[in-house]
Structure 1
Amino acid sequence: MTDTAASAKLRSIDHLFARDWVQLSERVHVAVGYGVSTFSFVVGDTGVVAVDSGSVPALSTEAIAELRNHTDLPIVGLVYTHGHPDHTGGAPAFLDENPDIEIWGNVRFGDEARRFARNGASIAQVRGKRQAGFLLPPEKRINNGIAPAIYPKAGALAGGPGGGPDRRTFPTKTFDANGVVELGGVTLEVTSNPGETQDQIMTWFAQDRVVFAGDNMYRSWPNLYAIRGTQYRDVRDWCESVDRMRELKAEHLVLGHTTPFSGTAEVDEAIDTYSRAMWHVYNATIEGMNAGKTPDELAHEVTLPRDLADNPMLGEYYGNVSWSVRAIFTGVLGWFDGNPASMNPLHPADRGGRIAELAGGPDVLFERAQAAMEDGEAQWAAELCDMVIALDHRTAEAKNLKADAIDELAYNLVTATGRNYLHTSAQELREAAATP
């Protein structure tokens, strides 16, 4: 692992998802580091209700075993904050504990996975493995930005709603806008709260003033756009959902990943920080769009204000501000950036050929790419290599050079998903270059 400032910064947050059992209140226990996601147990008079199931059945079983050090009451209910498999994949452990467990979810549960399946977009699974770093050797992974770098096993972190094809793990009870879960002497208010997904919910345990945010909040800049590919995560909806959590004046805030917050002042500050930052990026992007600026311009120009830029809640460990800006532009206006020259651009091979002609030939382009790498301009080197590859000229050499360039970009990027994607793509390029 190349030691860079970005690598050190990413390593500095490992403690946020180290294994820990946090008792927030007399009734609420939070399992941190038992897999990829954070999940919780609310203890009632006659039973326990879990909020999310974790990601890996074996690790969720270990969390349930720890729960038994605090209560012998049966687990009678499971509430999913949303349908991503890292929050639902541990459900078989809960079914092993109680085959008759009542499972709750939003009526839109699993909507994202169903849309990918309906459209036949299997490329999202390929890109998802790149983003997660599942194809990388351990030395190329530090963490996942909001979670430890866990490798998937059969049935874990894979598949659609419920963590896989086992329909037993799907919700048996659903609600639309609002609902109330009453089981085992536990009362939870559940509310549709779209953000990272359309099926996202906010769960409120009023008795101990605990709000469960799901993946609408964690200790990182939010993943307003996932580079594995996703339909538009409506950022304005997400901002409003965060603000709804603030209205509760909670005593405790449980995040979908990383450690929870406790104390009304600390909770309010965390939510306020998230809200102000998200609204700033959203509003600044809309303002730039209205001024006629393109996504390429805005991705470089829209940044967090000085008083928020260094806030530990907003480090770009999982999400990335510039990707968020591009997502907002595309989500609101679509792919066309407004520049007439962008309406029907040249094919990359045609553009590469014309640029090569201006430069003095494809060999000159390749030499410039080599020079750019030597000068520490990895991004420019990668872009020049793309032109050489598009021309099918010195292709193996260009692929290897591009691999070096994007590896260098990865080492200097804090965002774990981006690092994983870049390193995996470099690995794939070298494999392609070695294939006759």
Structure 2
Amino acid sequence: MEGPQVAFLVLLLALTGYLGNRLWAAINGPSYRERILRLASADQHLTNHTAEFARPEILQVSDGLYMAIGYALANSIMIEGKDEIVIVDVTESYETGLAIMSAFRNITKKPVAAIVYTHNHADHTYGAKAFIENDQNPPDIWAHESTNREFIRTFTANAAGYRRAMRQFGVFLPNSVNSGIGKMLKYGDGKATIGLVFPNKFVNQKVTNLTLAGIEMSIVHIPGETDDQIGVWLPKQEAFLCADDVYKAFPNLYAIRGTPDRNLLQWVESIDTIIEYSPQHLVPSHTRPVEGKSKIQDILTAYRDAIQYIHDQTVRYINQGMDVIDIAKKVVLPESLRTHPYLQEFYGTTEWSVKTVFTSYLGWFNGDAVDLSPLSKMERADRMVKLVGVSKLLEQAREALRAKDFQWALELSSYVLIMNPGHREATEIKLDCLTSLGSRQKSANGRNYYLTSAFELAGLVDSSISLKKNRENGIKILPIEYIFKALQVRFKPEDCGQVTTSVYFVFQDSNIHISLIIRNGIAIVKHGECLHCDLVVTTTETVFKDMIGSRIKAITAYGSGEIEIQGGAMNFRNIMSCFERNK
């Protein structure tokens, strides 16, 4: 089959699957959408919380210190020096960054001397290009030395993290109230552009004293929500820029979008560090600034005490031999903390936090031998259907739904749907459960996740299209080394487990040399020249990134002369087919 025929076949197969999904959604979607929206509501406290960041505005915190809030999920902060300015955090997209920079320019026209990333999260880094007004003389970008490693880790699990983040932040919901720490994540909807620029200046000390734009400041390592997190102390203004260690919501000690375990005691120590500075102004990267030493000390003390309480009581019950689910139900903050305005569960929750403490100490196994090798969801559903029968499961699910026992009805209907995808009554019960559970959440994360899951079940939300666009945009700006690291986890041993070979890549435009070694069902990436590799591929980063991003562009590249292959083009094609392509 010739190249154009292959390209047409690939496009036809993709189109067939896409149209199949669209047809199902077109038939069922309208009634299901109406069903979800009819049931969906929002916790009144969460709704009221929107006032914290309801409209875009620039707040003057102190002389020469400004915060942009309400433009995006995160804040951007401007520090004004005599002749230049420093920007701390740049929000989640090029577009939101442009809007903020335009507002900052109403205050000052001074050039940007430096940008500081408080940590690696997209809502703090992906808008950087909007703040770089002179490509010939760009500002330095400061970050912790581990930030680039975190970028690599995030990109490696890109697809899973992206889908779950879109649910957590409610990006595709028509009725999202807010995102707990900001109005809305303005990224992932297909309209936002990634403007990430990688940092070139790094700090690796607990405290690094700098003068940027003539401004004396200290960069303070305050690991908490992330290990690479840094804060900024401005002695002149007595202001501490605390990044995501503190904001006006219960902290995300675990993020349901999927994150490594967060070290709670390390987070507590970081807040203790902030307390020692005794700031007059607390300037978070989410929610509004706080003024007044006494008020700030109260907030910081309550925040750190709540985190420590969850840690200590979880470990206490672990040592009593309790199960993680039981501990999560048992640990409740004391009333003085539970009712504190900065510890309302608009973002994280105590229940999720307990579970992350458990896994950080003991891992996935809860200690009961029953759970050493449990049945898969498919196996459990199959046996439940055989044991009870679909009719009985649905009868019990209906009864549970009427009794507002939504979790049990959700589980029962899920068993039916696993074995009978598209079963209408089971789908309707599950939709009602997801919507009802979501409507009862005080946490924006929980509400958004339940309701987005309902829209996905109804065929009304498909994140794959925006995922593909964002991945293609990301590939263009990522260093080539990151892309090869991601290839390692795309290798398909079921197809290529017997393959033993090596490919040496020479990228002429960047003079980067990378070897890809395949053996024992894994792919290994090494840097530097390879004297004995089986194939040698000479090309440019641009061509290779196009090949990775698009099967059709890959087919075109083979015959265009844009890529030179020593060792056989067919051999190279076969090797690259061992890696999963974007879906």
Give yes or no for TM over 0.5.
yes
**Cross-structure match for 1:16:** 52
Following superposition of structure 1 onto structure 2, how do residues 132-143 of structure 1 map, counting pairs within 5 Å?
132-137=169-174, 140-143=175-178
- Separation in 2 of the partners of 1:381 and 1:64? 49
Residues 1:232 and 2:261 aligned together: yes
Residues 1:417 and 2:453 aligned together: no
CA apart distance, 1:209: 1.0
**Cross-structure match for 1:265:** 294
- Separation in 1 of the partners of 2:405 and 2:48? 27
Equivalent residue of 2:244, what SS? helix
TM-score (norm 2): 0.68
Residues 1:52 and 2:89 aligned together: yes
Equivalent residue of 1:122, what SS? helix
Following superposition of structure 1 onto structure 2, how do residues 55-94 of structure 1 map, counting pairs within 5 Å?
55-94=92-131
- Separation in 2 of the partners of 1:14 and 1:356? 44
**Cross-structure match for 2:484:** none
CA apart distance, 1:378: 1.0
Q: 1:209 to 1:156 in 2, by over 3 A?
A: farther
Equivalent residue of 2:220, what SS? strand
Gaps of 5+ in 2: 1-36, 461-583
Gaps of 5+ in 1: none
**Cross-structure match for 2:183:** 148
- Separation in 2 of the partners of 1:215 and 1:303? 23
Q: Is the 8 A contact 2:112 2:132 kept in 1?
A: no
**Structure possessing the higher radius of gyration over alpha carbons:** 2
- Separation in 2 of the partners of 1:262 and 1:131? 31
Q: Is the 8 A contact 2:43 2:440 kept in 1?
A: yes
Q: Is the 8 A contact 2:115 2:142 kept in 1?
A: yes
210, 219, 228: which one aligns with 2:248? 219
Q: 1:341 to 1:214 in 2, by over 3 A?
A: same
Q: 1:115 to 1:420 in 2, by over 3 A?
A: same
For residues 244-283 of structure 1, the C-alpha deviation after alignment (integer angstroms, 9 at most, x for no partner) is 1111101110111010111101111111110111111111
CA apart distance, 1:339: 1.3
Q: Is the 8 A contact 1:197 1:233 kept in 2?
A: yes
- Separation in 2 of the partners of 1:316 and 1:88? 26
Following superposition of structure 1 onto structure 2, how do residues 16-415 of structure 1 map, counting pairs within 5 Å?
16-18=52-54, 19-96=56-133, 99-118=137-156, 120=157, 122-137=159-174, 140-152=175-187, 163-164=194-195, 166=196, 169-177=197-205, 178-355=207-384, 360-392=388-420, 395-415=423-443
- Separation in 1 of the partners of 2:188 and 2:445? 20
Q: Is the 8 A contact 1:410 1:422 kept in 2?
A: yes
CA apart distance, 1:62: 3.3
- Separation in 2 of the partners of 1:394 and 1:154? 27
CA apart distance, 1:48: 1.2
1:146 aligned partner, one-letter code: I
CA apart distance, 1:3: 8.5
- Separation in 2 of the partners of 1:95 and 1:394? 50
2:171 aligned partner, one-letter code: F
Work out the percentage of aligned pairs sharing the same amino acid: 33
Q: Is the 8 A contact 2:39 2:435 kept in 1?
A: no
Q: Is the 8 A contact 1:89 1:157 kept in 2?
A: no
Q: 1:323 to 1:193 in 2, by over 3 A?
A: same
- Separation in 2 of the partners of 1:201 and 1:209? 17
- Separation in 2 of the partners of 1:297 and 1:334? 16
Number of equivalenced pairs? 421
Q: Is the 8 A contact 1:116 1:122 kept in 2?
A: no
Q: CA RMSD in A?
A: 2.3
Q: Is the 8 A contact 1:29 1:41 kept in 2?
A: yes
- Separation in 2 of the partners of 1:336 and 1:157? 40
Equivalent residue of 1:266, what SS? helix
Q: Is the 8 A contact 2:181 2:247 kept in 1?
A: yes
Q: Is the 8 A contact 2:92 2:185 kept in 1?
A: no
Asked which structure has the greater RCO (Cα within 8 Å, sep 6+), the reply is 1
Q: Is the 8 A contact 1:179 1:189 kept in 2?
A: yes
TM-score (norm 1): 0.90
CA apart distance, 1:216: 1.2
Q: Is the 8 A contact 1:76 1:183 kept in 2?
A: yes
Q: Is the 8 A contact 2:65 2:77 kept in 1?
A: yes
CA apart distance, 1:399: 2.6
Equivalent residue of 1:216, what SS? coil
CA apart distance, 1:174: 0.7
CA apart distance, 1:157: 6.6
- Separation in 2 of the partners of 1:156 and 1:282? 40
Q: 1:21 to 1:117 in 2, by over 3 A?
A: closer
- Separation in 1 of the partners of 2:273 and 2:355? 25
- Separation in 2 of the partners of 1:355 and 1:329? 29
- Separation in 2 of the partners of 1:230 and 1:329? 15
- Separation in 2 of the partners of 1:151 and 1:376? 34
Q: 1:3 to 1:430 in 2, by over 3 A?
A: closer
2:241 aligned partner, one-letter code: F
- Separation in 2 of the partners of 1:403 and 1:281? 33
Q: Is the 8 A contact 2:247 2:286 kept in 1?
A: yes
- Separation in 1 of the partners of 2:245 and 2:203? 19
Q: 1:418 to 1:157 in 2, by over 3 A?
A: farther
CA apart distance, 1:90: 2.2
- Separation in 2 of the partners of 1:236 and 1:362? 48
CA apart distance, 1:153: 6.5
- Separation in 1 of the partners of 2:40 and 2:74? 27
- Separation in 2 of the partners of 1:288 and 1:270? 27
